[in-house]
Amino acid sequence: MDDLRFIVVAMEGAREEGSEVLKRGVNDYVVRPFTPDILRNKLIQLFTVKSKRR
């Protein structure tokens, strides 16, 4: 399961739940609405961090 990466897409106003999902093992989250650039940056960050841990 270490190779799986999860990003939760949350509705606007659900920022409080963000810290909760991170505690449960989700790698990151993004709050809607978001731009393609925001999602791309999250994905780059996620894969860069995972690659450095190997």
What is the mean pLDDT for each group of 10 consecutive residues in the chain (54 residues)? 82 78 90 94 87 57
Neighbours of 1 (CB within 10 A): 4
In angstroms, the CA 4 to CA 33 distance is: 25
pLDDT at position 53: 57
Q: Return the domain boundaries, the chain.
A: 7-53
Look up tokens 């790698």; give the residue.
27
Residue 16, pLDDT score: 74
- Quote the pLDDT of residue 51: 60
Q: Look up the pTM and report it.
A: 0.70
Residue 27: which residues within 8 A CB-CB, separation 6 or more? 5, 6, 7, 46, 50
pLDDT of residue 4: 86
Residue 10, strand partner residues: 31
Can the peptide bond before residue 36 be classed as cis, meaning omega within 30 degrees of 0?
no
